């Protein structure tokens, strides 16, 4: 054989290299491949998909039980709808303060204490603390059951995770499917016609009211794209290999279904925030995107969602699992353009300045407005007409508690967070970036404590009445 003639010249270095490749480097690559899982944690060498799934399915009931016990300990989760007020398409709004007080305390006695005293005595209500993901060490996207069922019915795509279920009860979530309003066609009202808009029905619903570019943007927002937990590799959390997740699987009809996730940016894992899907209604008046990322345009955020947030900020995982590289000048632009058409829901009691029309408002609502712009100082950060200052603020809730671990999540300090707009706020429970507050009453108690406002029970009621008008 002719090649033997060249053997002596390359053998010493080449052979050594081959040996190294076969016996040292390749096993290392293999080991690394096996140890990087959906959350980036190690899963033990030699595990195949079937045994990982079997183990995680077995662990699921205990994980869910522990998390639901945490929710029970923090909140009153009962179904207690308010009378005479609903979300935009009619789902009842839940009423009352749901955050539980420490044993034997009242809100009035608690708010008489200073932040230092509350911190020293461990009296900060547990429901005001950062809310962990249903399984914080594992993380990833989790969808409410009603959404999973409807997508399965329409598209045959199954968003069930074998290791985890969504945690909050349906009556505390936004209405489903939510109405959809367009800035360009306010005359039409809800353009979704009461349906969940998907790849199956969007064309018929929108072909006569959008231009071809906007239609294409909407199509892309409804197109599944591979993601950390839902992809075709065996590092996934769906039983079967998966086509992926659409933007509107969370931002349903351009609004939110309260699907949850861990923020991609923070490390280590226990410091990452749980994040509650924000509504995309009214993104056209906003200048910062993401609770902490503060990306400057809707195009930037659209590109970032698929390339980074879908994969926990890990470009290696993204490549391995099948990232969709969206073309900036057309696809990203079209998606951004469609999102910018999503309008806030109608607020019939507000005038052109975004303030209450005294002829339409009740006495309590008007008193609430006066408080919002006066004693309660809300308008400093939430100015009319959209009730956002388009900035971020550090509310420094950690003045009230000592850092500690909650079900795998380190409650330490949130840092500056985007002032989410309050227009249409009654439609998008739960509240705050992590969804730790369940009702508008909870948000008023939270800010009453955080801002040390000392509001009376009557004043809190009036503020809630005003927030429900926005």
**Of 110, 309, 121, the residue nearest 227 (C-alpha):** 309
Q: Is 417 in the site for ligand HEC (CB under 6 A)?
A: yes
Kindly tell me which residue out of 431, 439, 449, 465 binds ligand HEC, with binding defined by CB under 6 A.
Answer: 431
The single residue among 163, 167, 305, 343 that binds ligand HEC, judged by CB under 6 A, is 305
E strands, 344-407, where? Answer: 392-393, 404-406
Kindly tell me which residue out of 166, 338, 400, 420 binds ligand HEC, with binding defined by CB under 6 A.
Answer: 420
CB of 244 to ligand HEC, least distance (A): 9
List residues bridging with 393 in a β-sheet.
417
d(CA 108, CA 394): 25
Query: Using CB under 6 A, which of 291, 331, 340, 369 touches ligand HEC?
Result: 291
Q: Tell me: does residue 427 bind ligand HEC (CB under 6 A).
A: no
CB of 261 vs ligand HEC, minimal distance in Å: 4
Does 432 contact ligand HEC by CB under 6 A? yes
Using CB atoms within 10 A of its CB, is residue 448 exposed (0-12), middle (13-18) or buried (19+)? Answer: buried
Measured from the CB of residue 289, what is the shortest distance to ligand HEC in angstroms? 4
* Nearer Cβ to ligand HEC (93/335): 335
Question: Any alpha helices (H) in 36-139, and if so which ranges?
Answer: 49-74, 107-111, 115-121
Cα(460)–Cα(176) distance, rounded to whole angstroms? 29
Q: Is 323 in the site for ligand HEC (CB under 6 A)?
A: no
Q: Minimum distance between the CB of residue 421 and ligand HEC, rounded to whole angstroms?
A: 7
Nearer to ligand HEC, 97 or 245 (CB): 245
Interface with ligand HEC includes 419 (CB under 6 A)? yes
Compute φ and ψ for 207, nearest 5 degrees. Answer: -60, -30
Sole residue written with tokens 């398409």? 89
CB-wise, 179 or 336, nearer to ligand HEC? 336
Our CB check for ligand HEC shows the closer of 3 and 450 to be 450
Pick one of 197, 341, 376, 438: the residue that binds ligand HEC (CB under 6 A). 376
What are the DSSP E strand ranges found in 118-263? 260-262
Residues 383-412 that bind ligand HEC (CB under 6 A): 393, 395
Among 306, 309, 227, 317, CA closest to 272: 309
- In terms of Cα–Cα distance, which of 82, 111, 78 is closest to 459? 111
382 touches ligand HEC (CB under 6 A): yes
133: which DSSP letter? P
The two tokens of residue 456 are 């009376």
Give the nearer residue to ligand HEC in terms of CB position, either 61 or 268.
Answer: 268
In whole angstroms, the minimum distance from the beta carbon of 42 to ligand HEC comes to 24
Q: Which is nearer to ligand HEC, 205 or 417 (CB)?
A: 417
Q: What share of the chain is helix, strand, coil (3-state, %, to 5)?
A: 40, 10, 50
Compute the distance between CA of residue 37 and CA of residue 56 in angstroms, rounded to an integer: 13
What pairs with residue 295 in β-bridges?
289
Which residue, 77 or 381, has its beta carbon nearer to ligand HEC?
Answer: 381
CA-based end-to-end distance of the chain: 85
Cα angle at 415 between 131 and 135, to 5 degrees?
25
269 belongs to the binding site for ligand HEC (CB under 6 A):
no
String marking each residue 242-261 x if it binds ligand HEC according to CB under 6 A: ---x-x-xxx-------x-x
Looking at the Cβ atoms of 17 and 325, the one nearer to ligand HEC is: 325
Q: Does residue 298 touch ligand HEC according to CB under 6 A?
A: yes
**Tokens in use for 170?**
């349906």
Min. distance of Cβ 350 from ligand HEC in angstroms? 16
What does DSSP assign to residue 412?
S
Cα–Cα distance between 382 and 375 in angstroms, integer? 14
341 binds ligand HEC (CB under 6 A): no
Decide if residue 333 touches ligand HEC (CB under 6 A).
no
The least distance separating ligand HEC from the CB of residue 29, rounded to whole angstroms, comes to 31
Q: How far apart are CA 107 and CA 127, in angstroms?
A: 13
3-state secondary structure string, 96-124? CCCECCCCCCCHHHHHCCCHHHHHHHCCC
Distance (Å, whole) CA 281 – CA 423: 9
In the complex with ligand HEC, the residue whose CB is nearer, 97 or 425, is 425
Please select the residue that binds ligand HEC; options are 53, 93, 97, 444, rule is CB under 6 A: 444
Q: How many residues bind ligand HEC (CB under 6 A)?
A: 51
In the range 138-167, which residues lie near ligand HEC by CB under 6 A?
141
Query: What is the three-class DSSP state of 456?
Result: coil
Cβ atoms of residues 233 and 36 within 8 Å: no
Task: Please choose, out of 45-53, 64-72, 87-95, 282-290, the segment that lies near ligand HEC by the rule CB under 6 A.
Answer: 282-290
Q: What residues make contact with ligand HEC under the rule CB under 6 A?
A: 141, 245, 247, 249-251, 259, 261, 263, 275, 277-278, 280, 283, 286, 289-293, 298, 301-302, 305-306, 335, 339, 376-378, 380-382, 393, 395, 414, 417-420, 422, 425, 428, 431-433, 443-444, 447, 451, 463
């Amino acid at each position: 054989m002719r090649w033997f003639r060249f053997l002596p010249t390359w053998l010493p270095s080449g052979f050594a290299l081959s040996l190294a490749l076969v016996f040292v480097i390749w096993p290392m690559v293999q080991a690394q491949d096996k140890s990087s899982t959906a959350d980036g944690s190690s899963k033990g060498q030699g595990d195949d998909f079937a045994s990982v799934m079997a183990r995680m399915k077995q662990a699921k009931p205990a994980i869910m039980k522990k998390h639901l016990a945490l929710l029970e300990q923090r909140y009153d989760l009962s179904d207690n709808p308010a009378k005479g007020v609903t979300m935009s398409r009619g789902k009842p709004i839940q009423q009352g303060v749901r955050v539980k007080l420490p044993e034997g305390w009242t809100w009035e006695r608690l708010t008489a204490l200073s932040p230092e005293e509350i911190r020293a005595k461990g009296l900060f209500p547990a429901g005001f603390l950062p809310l962990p993901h249903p399984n914080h060490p594992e993380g990833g996207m989790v969808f409410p059951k009603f959404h999973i069922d409807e997508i399965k019915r329409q598209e045959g795509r199954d968003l069930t995770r074998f290791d985890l279920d969504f945690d909050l009860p349906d009556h505390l979530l936004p209405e489903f499917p939510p109405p959809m309003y367009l800035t360009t066609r306010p005359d039409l009202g809800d353009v979704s016609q009461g349906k969940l808009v998907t790849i199956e029905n969007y064309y018929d619903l929108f072909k006569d009211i959008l231009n071809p570019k906007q239609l294409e943007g909407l199509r892309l927002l409804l197109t599944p794209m591979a993601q950390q937990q839902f992809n075709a590799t065996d590092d996934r959390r769906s039983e079967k290999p998966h086509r992926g997740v659409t933007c509107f699987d969370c931002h349903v009809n351009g609004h939110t279904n309260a699907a949850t996730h861990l923020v991609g940016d923070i490390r280590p894992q226990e410091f990452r925030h749980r994040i509650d899907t924000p509504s995309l209604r009214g993104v056209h008046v906003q200048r910062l995107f993401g609770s902490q990322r503060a990306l400057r345009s809707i195009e930037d955020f659209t590109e970032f969602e698929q390339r980074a947030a879908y994969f926990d900020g890990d470009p290696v995982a993204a490549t391995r699992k099948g990232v969709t590289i969206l073309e900036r000048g057309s696809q990203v632009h079209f998606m951004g353009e469609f999102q910018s058409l999503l309008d806030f829901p109608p607020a019939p009691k507000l005038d052109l300045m975004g303030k209450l029309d005294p002829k339409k408002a009740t006495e309590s609502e008007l008193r609430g407005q006066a408080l919002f712009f006066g004693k309660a100082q809300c308008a400093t950060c939430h100015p009319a007409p959209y009730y956002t200052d388009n900035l971020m603020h550090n509310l420094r809730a950690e003045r009230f508690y000592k850092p500690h671990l909650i079900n795998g999540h380190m409650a330490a300090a949130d840092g500056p967070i985007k002032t989410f707009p309050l227009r249409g706020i009654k439609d998008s429970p739960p509240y705050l970036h992590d969804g730790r507050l369940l009702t508008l009453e909870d948000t008023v108690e939270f800010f009453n404590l955080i801002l040390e406002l000392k509001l009376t029970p009557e004043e809190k009621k009036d503020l809630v009445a005003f927030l429900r008008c926005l």
